[in-house]
Chains A and B, each alone.
Chain A
Amino acid sequence: MQTATETMLNIKINGKELQAKQGETILDVAKRNNIHIPTLCYHDDLCLSGICRVCAVDVEGQRLLQTACNTPVIPEMVVNTNSQRVRKARKMILELLLSEHVGECTTCKRNLNCELQELASLYGIEEVRFKKPEEKRFPIEENSPIVRDNDKCILCRRCVRVCEEIQEVEAITPVGRGKETSIGCLYDLTLDETVCVFCGQCINRCPTGALTEKDATKDVWRAIEDPAKHVVVQTAPAIRAALAEEFDVPPGERVTGKMTAALKMLGFDTVFDTDFTADLTIIEEGTELLTRLKKALVDKSDVSIPMFTSCSPGWINYIEHHYPDLLSNLSTCKSPQQMFGALIKTYYAQKKGLDPDSIVSVSVMPCTAKKYEADRPEMTDSGYKDVDYVLTTRELARMIKQAGLDLMEIEDAEFDAPMGISTGAGVIFGATGGVMEAAIRTAYELVTGREVPFENLDIKPVRGMDGIRAASVTITDPSPEWSFLDGAEVKVAVAHTLSNARKLMDEVREGKSPYHFIEVMACPGGCLGGGGQPIPTAPDIRKKRAQAIYTEDDCLALRKSHENPAVKQLYEEFLGEPNGHKSHELLHTHYTEKSNW
């Protein structure tokens, strides 16, 4: 990214005198002044690439067109974004891209939300003067949660850049040269044969339908339509903060009640809230952390500190591939999705007198890695597949649209009890730093009997969008059971995106990490920026989703996980005690090293 210093200069775009900062690009200035310049390879989250050439504009005195995305402004520059040769060039470039873009719009998941389609329509492409290939040139790869259809790829490389720059995973790369160039893996390996973590960030950056999630809607419809099945759905906290975007509502609108109502109208028998098991996670994970600290500080036994959160399945895949030596630092807690799955077919089935075999457990997640997680062979502690189908936010939106529902016009409804009852601490799991904040709210109180010393329970240092954030809480005057923590400064850190996680992990590996507890979310912004969320994504969109999530927390009466009455009831009726025998059986898991290439 360019760093703009504050020296101002004057330029002219389309005859308009404009002020620009030194270091800005033509595109920056145009955007700020609501002058639309088309882009494809450009993305707010990524480094400049300048390869699609669709943003080419006329600059006075230049024989060649200049690409707006990477041409810095200079004093007295005169730009025309709409000259005849610019329009001709744009149209030609779009035609060239369309001539290589093979696939039917009408059967594409990205129909009506495709950047190429939009530009083609905007620039009036009525015919493509070059012949399209008559047959598919690439097989569709669909043996993982991420479906790749290279025939629709326009080689903008946004997927490659997000995988490389933001995640540092490098699961995909440009292969070959010239017209033979394609995006792929070495020796045509499929994604499941690489170190891909299935975070789906590539899907969110893809301008076309070349990258999509593996569809589960058909399976879910089938289950709903089967009268013998009792279909239970859980929805993750980040869904409610983004679903409305799929219905053309600007980012930041919370639709918790409408979403719940829509799920009921779709025909789900029971609608639960993953926030419930988020609260449960806090109890289990908080207890685990305190136990680890006790083992380390009092028993002086060999225990791995810092402890890492384990809610983000992309992160779990990443650490299994890249830091297998640190697997013992991971909390053994399953993610809220999987805790939920295990309880639905045990606790809930018992409570309702249902045959677990007749229950179909569906989750709605902002995430593609959740699909992988649900399919892990170890996720069957209920005796059944704990979570049968995972839908992304986008897939849920498709189902709602298929059912002919207008989300924004639906009357609000409430989650079902008991596993629809949750606290604000569960809600904030959807944002980076949320698990940490929820954990601190509970752990501090558990240890001292007092509320955390932050105004309105808002633990601001762990909030925000900086890649890595650290905080510390000093324990004073703990209850006798926790007296060993008296005066202790508990240090925590939060990272989102895997490139940031890598920085913290390298510190841990070198024995230089000062922290006791680290939260990692694989995706930028946390789950709200997950690979299953509405497209597009950008820093400001994620900020608005985060605001929605924190507002929901703020509105709730209960904001601490340990105060969730349904969770208390769960322990009383079923689990016994936190980290107890039953918990270990159903709510905890183990990790396996995966090959690092």
Chain B
Amino acid sequence: MKTFEIDRDVMEIAGRYQKAKEYLLPILQELVGKKGYLTEKIIRDVAKEMNISPNEVYGVATFYSFIKTKPTGKYVIRICQTIGCDLAGKDELIKALEKELRVKCSGTTDDMMFTLEKTNCIGMCDQGPAMLINDEVYARMDSKKAVELVKEYKAKENS
């Protein structure tokens, strides 16, 4: 039998959830949190650990937009594109960040640090335009604030 070394994080995280099928989503979420995105190897390892088919894991993973199965930056910047934030100026925000990060929306910076993308309503319609950077929410943004914020993240990384 071909022996695979199961990823340690997969073992630890799946183990913590007793490898129970109903915890597949939190397991994948933790793995995305830890690794940024899921590789084929990770998907296969999760399936092996949980004794389910890797197809099933992949089918679930690709259903949810916050579970990444393609290379993704360490920080995912999600700009709310839904009407409230749209009318409040999300387009300028995106333009400013595209310029600052030198990446097109839905793309990832070459250093794999930032992925810039649009997302649907994040529940900050009264304070738009709003965005998420990983799990943090930033409301009442404007281009200047957004660029400064990203600079802070960059600085944090560089220090």
Pick from B40, B48, B59: contact of A174, CB under 8 Å: B59
**A418 within 8 A of partner (CB):** no
Interface residues of B in 25-66 (CB under 8 A from A): 40, 43-44, 47-48, 53-59, 62-65
A595 CA to B4 CA, complexed, in Å: 11
Known: A177-B63, A597-B47, A597-B48. A186 touches B55 (CB 8 A): yes
A596 to B57, CA, bound (A): 15
A388 at interface, CB cutoff 8 A: no
Q: Which of A40-48, A78-86, A165-173 contacts B (4 or more CB under 8 A)?
A: A165-173
What is the bound-complex CA distance between A185 and B56, given in angstroms? 9
Cβ of A454 under 8 Å from chain B: no
Interface size on A, as a range, is: 10 to 19
Q: How far is the CA of A171 from the CA of B54 in the complex (A)?
A: 9
A498 to chain B, nearest CB (A): 13
Q: Does A464 lie at the interface of the complex (its beta carbon under 8 Å from any beta carbon of B)?
A: no
Residues of A within 8 A of B56 (CB): 170, 173
B155 at the interface (CB under 8 A from A): no
> Which residues in B have their C-beta under 8 angstroms from that of A170?
53, 55-56
> Which of chain B's residues has its CB closest to A182's CB?
B62
Give Cα A597–Cα B1 distance, bound, in whole angstroms: 11
Q: Which of A177, A194, A593 contacts B62 (CB 8 A)?
A: A177
Cβ contact within 8 Å between B54 and A186: yes
With beta carbons under 8 angstroms apart, the residue of A177, A186, A593 that contacts B1 is A593
Check A176–B1 contact: CB distance below 8 A. Answer: no
**Also in contact, A186 and B43, with CB within 8 A (given A170-B53, A595-B2):** yes
Which residues of B lie under 8 Å from residue A195 when comparing CB positions? 53
Q: How far does the alpha carbon of A173 sit from the alpha carbon of B43 in the complex, in Å?
A: 14
Does residue A417 face the partner (Cβ distance < 8 Å to B)? no
Q: How far is the CA of A172 from the CA of B55 in the complex (A)?
A: 7
Residue of B nearest to A178 (CB): B63
Inter-chain CB contacts under 8 Å: number: 44
Q: Which of A146-198 contact B (CB under 8 A)?
A: 170-177, 185-187, 194-195
* A324: Cβ under 8 A from any B Cβ: yes
**Option from A177, A186, A595 in Cβ contact (under 8 Å) with B58:** A186
Give the docked Cα–Cα distance between A173 and B53 (Å): 10
Q: Which residues of B contact A324 (CB under 8 A)?
A: 1
Smallest Cβ-Cβ distance to B63: which chain A residue? A177
Smallest beta-carbon distance B57→chain A, Å: 8
**Bound CA span A177–B64, Å:** 8
The smallest beta-carbon distance between B118 and chain A, in angstroms, is: 15
- Min CB gap A177→B, angstroms: 5
Q: Say yes or no: B53 contacts A597, CB within 8 Å.
A: yes
Shortest CB-to-CB span from B46 to chain A, Å, is 11
Bound-state CA distance A596–B55 (Å) is 12
A175 touches B62 (CB 8 A): yes
Residue numbers in A under 8 Å from B64 (CB-CB): 177
Docked Cα-Cα span, A202 to B40, in Å, equals 25
Contact A597 B59 (CB under 8 A): no
Residue of A nearest to B55 (CB): A173
CA distance A170 to B57 in the complex (A): 11
Contact with B along A566-597 (1 / 0, CB 8 A): 00000000000000000000000000010111
Partner of B59 from the list A171, A175, A593 (CB cut-off 8 Å) is A175
What residues of chain B lie closer than 8 Å to A176, measured between beta carbons? 62-63
Which residues of A are found within 8 Å of B53, using beta-carbon distances?
170, 173, 195, 597
Least CB distance from A141 to B in Å reads 15
- Indicate if the CB atoms of A186 and B63 lie closer than 8 Å: no
Contact in complex: B40, A186 (CB < 8 Å): yes
Distance of B35 from chain A, by nearest CB (Å):
16
- Among B53-93, those with CB < 8 Å from A are 53-59, 62-65, 69
Instruction: Give Cα A565–Cα B58 distance, bound, in whole angstroms.
Output: 55
Q: Which residue of A lies closest to B69 (CB)?
A: A187
Kindly list chain A residues whose C-beta atoms are within 8 Å of the C-beta of B57: 186
A596→B65 CA distance, assembly (Å): 29
13 A-B pairs (CB sep. < 8 Å): A170-B53, A170-B55, A170-B56, A173-B53, A173-B56, A175-B59, A176-B63, A185-B58, A186-B44, A186-B55, A195-B53, A324-B1, A593-B1
Known: A176-B62, A595-B2. 9 other contacts (CB 8 A): A170-B53, A170-B56, A185-B55, A185-B58, A186-B43, A187-B40, A187-B43, A597-B47, A597-B53
Which residues of A line the B interface, CB within 8 A?
170-177, 185-187, 194-195, 324, 593, 595-597
B: residues with CB less than 8 A from A are 1-2, 40, 43-44, 47-48, 53-59, 62-65, 69
- Leading 4 A-B pairs by shortest Cβ distance: A186-B58, A170-B53, A173-B55, A173-B59
